[in-house]
């Protein structure tokens, strides 16, 4: 009997590692190849959507690791490399927030109210985080205010896209819990 438990735990770890690797790649690709500059200092992309979807469907840990690494890789390999350390912390926080709220109370991401509240609070964290990061980078508190609209547009679009995709994905047999 002990052998079966060991194999089950091992297969669960392998499954989680594969999920993290796949979602890291999907996060990176969704930011790298599917982005639209919004004209206010931000970029509308599917990266935030992937983080939200991963947290709600697969779990907080998978979203935190894959979102932080995938988004940081984009920054590191782009002209935004100076933002990479900030992005890591901000996207990690966003995934933790939405994942914790969406999966709390044994809801397993099945409460639309919790999911939307999680997305909104994670988005607020992202906007505040990038404001703080830009304030540190520029050395003043006023310049980052100009970028806030772009960041609000970015997380709002990411959240809206995530909700639409979640509705479709939640209706598939694979994700019904």
Q: Which tokens sit at 153? A: 């547009």
pLDDT at residue 38, rounded to an integer: 72
pLDDT band at 54 (very low <50, low <70, confident <90, very high): very high
112 within some domain:
yes
175 within some domain:
no
Q: Is the pLDDT of residue 62 over 90?
A: yes
DSSP the chain: -HHHHHHHHHHHHHHHHHHHHHHHHHHHHHHHSSEEE-SSS-EEESHHHHHHHHHHHT-HHHHHHHHHHHHHHHHHTSTTGGGHHHHHHHHHHHHHHHHHHHHGGG-TT--HHHHHHHHHHHHHHHHHHHHHHHHHHHS-SSHHHHHHHHHHHHHHHHHHHHHHHHHHHHTSTTT--
176 within some domain:
no
* Segment 79-91, tens digit of pLDDT: 889 999 999 999 9
CATH of the domain at 58: 1.10.1760.20
Instruction: Count how many domains the chain has.
Output: 1
pLDDT at residue 63, rounded to an integer: 95
What domain range is 18 assigned to? 2-170
Q: Supply the pTM of this predicted model.
A: 0.90
pLDDT at residue 48, rounded to an integer: 95
pLDDT at residue 165, rounded to an integer: 94
As a whole number, mean pLDDT of residues 20-46 equals: 85
148 within some domain:
yes
As a whole number, mean pLDDT of residues 136-147 equals: 92
* Segment 112-125, tens digit of pLDDT: 999 999 999 999 99
46 within some domain:
yes
177 within some domain:
no
pLDDT at residue 108, rounded to an integer: 86
């Amino acid at each position: 009997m002990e052998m079966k438990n060991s194999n089950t735990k091992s297969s669960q770890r392998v499954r989680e590692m594969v999920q993290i690797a796949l979602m890291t790649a999907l996060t990176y690709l969704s930011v790298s190849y599917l982005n639209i500059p919004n004209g206010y200092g931000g970029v509308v992309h599917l990266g935030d959507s992937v983080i939200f979807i991963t947290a709600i469907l697969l779990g907080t840990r998978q979203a935190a690791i894959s979102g932080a690494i995938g988004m940081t890789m984009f920054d590191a390999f782009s002209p935004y490399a100076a933002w990479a350390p900030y992005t890591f912390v901000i996207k990690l926080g966003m995934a933790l927030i939405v994942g914790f709220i969406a999966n709390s109370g044994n809801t397993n991401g099945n409460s639309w109210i919790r999911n939307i509240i999680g997305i909104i609070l994670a988005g607020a964290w992202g906007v505040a985080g990038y404001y703080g990061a830009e304030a540190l980078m520029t050395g003043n508190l006023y310049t980052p205010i100009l970028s806030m609209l772009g960041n609000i547009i970015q997380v709002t679009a990411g959240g809206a896209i995530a909700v639409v995709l979640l509705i479709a994905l939640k209706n598939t047999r694979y994700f019904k819990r």
